[in-house]
Structure 1
Amino acid sequence: MRQRNKPWADDFLQENTHLVIPNPSKNKGKWQELFDNDNPIHVEIGTGKGQFIVGMAKQYPDINFIGIELAKSVIVTAAQKVQASGQENIRLIQENAENVNEIFTPNEVATIYLNFSDPWPKNRHEKRRLTSKSFLERYENLLHPEGDLTFKTDNRGLFEYSLVSFSEYGMLLSEVSLDLHKINDPENVMTEYEEKFSAKGQPIYRCTANFRGE
């Protein structure tokens, strides 16, 4: 979806480098130092407008959350939510997901979240899907051996593709839900998209996978 330009975005980012970290590769291997603690690092790739990451940070204050979002007009909205929340366990990065291995060292991340990623439905765009083999290779490199990847979407086709992709890569699926909200998970934090789609009766799909499978 095309986002409306925000003329004030550049000034906001320059004034809030403590929230949206410039030159994130400089913190590679040192993210816990930036948070000034040794809490585990959880990363949301495609953080959108920030509702999920703020909700998770409130629910889990002993975890450091990093949200990655490429669109400037979107990440400033997320940063405003982080700022308003007062949560000190969140940082944001304006970066392409393709570059995650330039931002984190191997085993530096405990959990990865992929929420309502672009489905890229055309076959020729498969490599752009955040659950394709090329991205799984990146995630495996940065995730701790005991780490998990949690994926949520409203797109049945993307979900089915992702399950196959995870399986073919040798990942172990520890949870698969074809209608997340029917199980009433009290720990589930909804994104903006999730609230919108579920209100219309659209089922939400979720799975958790890890690289500990054979």
Structure 2
Amino acid sequence: MRLRNIPGAKESLQQHPSIIIPNPSENKGNWKAVFGNDNPIHVEVGTGKGQFLIGMSKLHPNVNFIGIEKYDSVLVRALEQAKEEERPNLKFLNEDVEDILTFFEKAEIERIFINFTDPWPKNRHEKRRLTYKGFLDMYKQILVKNGEIHFKTDNQGLFEYSLESFSGYGMTLHHVSLDLHRSGMEGNVMTEYEQKFSRKGMRIYRCEAKFRA
């Protein structure tokens, strides 16, 4: 999918350093001080336009949320919503998830969300999938003992691949759903894509994967 370029997006992001945190590597190991409390920190990789994290920050005011999104023209939409909501427990990073180890210290994060990520269906692109073992290696380092990944997608192939990836890594799987919106799950916050796909009657796949100590 081709991204629409929004003129001035980068400049808009830079004008709100309290929401879009500049130079995040400078806060490595010190994110609780950034938020000004000792609440747990949850991270969404590939946060898109921010609907999910803004909803989560409302639902869970005692959790701090950080969204990582590398595309300026996408993140500026999240900024627009965040400015209106004024959520003190919500921050964003205009960065690439491949650099995640430079932003967070070991065992600094309690949960990672991966929602509707690019499936990269070709075999030669396997290493780009956010549930590939190379990414799991990084997630494990920044997550606390028994840290969790919560994963949602509309892509059955990516879901099957991810279940195998999580299991092959030695993670334990919980709350595996092949049709999330018919599962009776409470407290589900939808992303923009999830809302769009569910309206079309498409299945949403979800699971929770926990690293073993």
Given the two structures, how large is their TM-score scaled by the length of structure 1?
0.97
In the alignment, which residue of structure 2 is the partner of 1:24?
24
The CA deviation at 1:83 is 1.0
- Which residue number in structure 1 is paired with residue 141 of structure 2? 141
Partner of 2:15: 15
Q: What is the aligned length?
A: 213
Aligned to 2:81: 81
SS at match of 2:82: helix
User: Where does residue 159 of structure 1 map in the other structure?
Assistant: 159
Give SS of 1:39's match.
coil
Task: Tell me, in whole angstroms, the C-alpha distance in 1 between the residues paired with 2:10 and 2:152.
Answer: 31
In the other structure, the counterpart of 1:5 is: 5
Could you list the runs of 4 or more consecutive aligned residues of structure 1 that deviate by over 6 angstroms after TM superposition?
Answer: none
Letter in 2 for 1:33: A
Give the CA deviation at 1:6.
1.3
1:7 CA displacement:
1.3
Cα displacement string for residues 112-145 of structure 1 (whole angstroms, at most 9, x for unaligned residues)? 0000000000000000000001000000101001
Whether 2:147 is the aligned partner of 1:132: answer no
1:106-117 paired onto structure 2 within 5 Å:
106-117=106-117
What is the correspondence of 1:47-66 to structure 2 with a 5 Å cutoff?
Answer: 47-66=47-66
SS at match of 1:6: coil
Counterpart residue type for residue 93 of structure 1: L
Listed as ranges, the gaps of 5+ residues in structure 1 are none
Tell me whether 111-120 or 141-150 shows the greater mean CA deviation.
141-150
* Residues 195-210 of structure 1: pairs in structure 2 closer than 5 A: 195-210=195-210
Q: Which runs of 5+ in 2 are unaligned?
A: none
Q: Which residue does the alignment assign to 1:190?
A: 190
Deviation at 1:3, TM superposition (A): 1.9
Measured in 1, the distance between the counterparts of 2:38 and 2:17 equals 21
Distance of 1:145 and 1:124 partners within structure 2: 32
Report % sequence identity.
Answer: 56
Rounded Cα–Cα distance in structure 1 between residues aligned with 2:6 and 2:32: 31
Partner of residue 174, structure 1: 174
* Matched AA of 1:155: N
Is 2:51–2:190's contact at 8 Å kept on the other side of the alignment? yes
The answer as to whether partners of 2:140 and 2:147 remain within 8 angstroms in 1 is: no
Distance in 1, matches of 2:146 and 2:33, equals 22
Whichever residue aligns with residue 16 of structure 1, its letter is: H
The 2-side partners of 1:10 and 1:208 are apart by 34
Normalised TM-score (structure 2): 0.98
When structure 1 is superposed on structure 2, of 177-186 and 152-161 the one drifting more is: 177-186
Q: Once superposed, what is the RMSD of the aligned Cα atoms?
A: 0.9
Cα distance, 1:58 vs structure 2: 0.1
Q: Quick check: 2:111–2:148 contact (8 Å CA) kept in 1?
A: yes
